[in-house]
Amino acid sequence: MMVDAPEPMSPTWSLHPSGDRSLVILCTHEDPKVANGWCRALARALADDLPAGIDGVVPAMVSVALHYAPDRVLDAAPEPLRDGSSPYAILAEQVWARMAAFDLDRVPAGREITIPVCYGGDYGPDLQEVADISGLTPQEVIALHTAAPVDVLAVGFAPGHPYVGYFDARLSPGRRSSPRSDVPAGTIGLANRQSVIYPTRLPGGWNLIGRTPLVLFDPYRAEPSLLVAGDRVRFVAIDPAAFETLAAGQEGRP
């Protein structure tokens, strides 16, 4: 007997104040991974059609925050909205109107960016341990990590620091019980089907499986952050010789 596949549950959106200068658009869905996808699409759509007075659109895992100046929202509001409403209420109404008009299914996909990674050894001292925890060989961990493009879920914690996912369910080690105080720039962390890439020397509690020679963040570049939420990332394994060659090519940059 044929059974129709269940319709994917549509997300539920809600708006919330977060202090007097931020409005948070929350996406609720039984699967946070799905909610994250909707948030990335919404953030891209909003960035192209912002109400006045907004200083930033900041997507997170299942939400999109709009940072705004209350006086500028008020001043730019169309007359009928201004009758004693708070700037938050005015902005909420403008956001709802836009969201009703967006077709988030049709928001174009983000860029696809290739990230070369030298896995294991000094570059990724936890690769063997991750393999052991996951019941895989190090080669199988690398194969799963490079198998398919993954999404940049959010950028945060430090300038240019991305969260990417979701990897195969077998790549689900927890975070380390004691974080390292000093993780080298470019290091790829793995935990719970996600990776982070440390853009600069930082403390970190993720399992370190490799390192990229690419510069993730440079405030003097035209595009300071290599990755933004909504991009797709394809990890590609390289050997230490290729790493050193590529790293040398990155030196001398401002």
Which residue type does 174 have?
A: G
Cα three-residue angle 14-105-52, rounded to 5 degrees: 55
Among 104, 158, 242, 246, binds other proteins (CB under 8 A): 158
* CA-to-CA separations, 22 to 56, 58, 66, 140, in angstroms, rounded: 9, 10, 5, 44
Among 31, 71, 122, 239, binds other proteins (CB under 8 A): 71
Binding residue for other proteins (CB under 8 A) from 59, 110, 120, 204?
59
Site for other proteins in 108-147 (CB under 8 A): none
The least CB distance from residue 83 to other proteins, in Å, is: 14
Strands 180-183 and 202-204: antiparallel
- In the complex, what is the shortest distance from the CB of residue 207 to other proteins, in angstroms, rounded to a whole number? 19
Question: Counting contacts by CB under 8 A, is residue 164 touching other proteins?
Answer: no
Q: Can residue 206 be called a binding residue for other proteins (CB under 8 A)?
A: no
C-alpha 248: how far from its chain's center? Answer: 28
**Do 146 and 236 contact (CB within 8 A), yes or no?**
yes
Among 198, 206, 217, 243, binds other proteins (CB under 8 A): 217
Report the residue from 13, 51, 77, 88 that binds other proteins according to the rule CB under 8 A: 88
Per the document, the length of the chain is: 254
- Round to whole Å and give the CA distance between 55 and 52: 9
Distance CA 217, CA 182 (A): 18
Q: Which of 15, 21, 104, 172 binds other proteins (CB under 8 A)?
A: 21
Chain residues in the site for other proteins (CB under 8 A)? 16-22, 24, 32, 43, 55-63, 65, 67, 69-72, 74, 86-88, 154-161, 200, 217, 219-220, 224-225, 228-229
